[in-house]
Structure 1
């Protein structure tokens, strides 16, 4: 999956707006973070903590949680290795969580 594909998918969801910079775009719904590109290969996605473990277990090559994010509602998706359907599912979880 490419950063452009992440952006197109995120922006296809209702109320999602692109913010951030050209180098580090981010997608928000109602000013609440859904996803942010950290670099050309890594996107940070907000996910409910109760869903995070199942994402990590189901797609260990797609997602990770570095120590700095352990206490946050976030995962990193590694775009070079990630299953595109899994990344879209994580973005969906973030979108649902941030809508309300």
Structure 2
């Protein structure tokens, strides 16, 4: 999955706006983070903890949680070998979680 595909999918969701920088673009709904590109190969997606565990169990090659994120409602998606449908579902879950 490419960074461009991440952005296109995020922007297809109602109310999502691009922010961040050129190097680290991010997409927000109601000024709340949905997804951010950490680097060209990694996206950080904000998901509830119970959904995060399900994503990790179902797609261990797509998602991971580095130690610095263990206490946060976030998961990393490794784009080079990600399942696009799983990443899209995680972004949609983040969008639903962050809407007011």
Q: Give the TM-score category using the shorter length.
A: over 0.9
Q: Normalized against structure 1, the TM-score is what?
A: 0.99
The residue number in structure 2 matching 1:50 is 50
Secondary structure, aligned partner of 1:7: helix
RMSD: 0.4
Is residue 23 of structure 1 aligned with residue 30 of structure 2?
A: no
The residue number in structure 2 matching 1:64 is 64
Secondary structure, aligned partner of 1:94: helix
State how far apart, in whole Å, the 2-side matches of 1:7 and 1:45 are: 12
> How far is 1:27 from its partner?
0.1
State how far apart, in whole Å, the 1-side matches of 2:65 and 2:50 are: 14
List gaps (5 residues or longer) in structure 1.
Answer: none
Q: Normalized against structure 2, the TM-score is what?
A: 0.99
> How far is 1:21 from its partner?
0.6
List gaps (5 residues or longer) in structure 2.
Answer: none
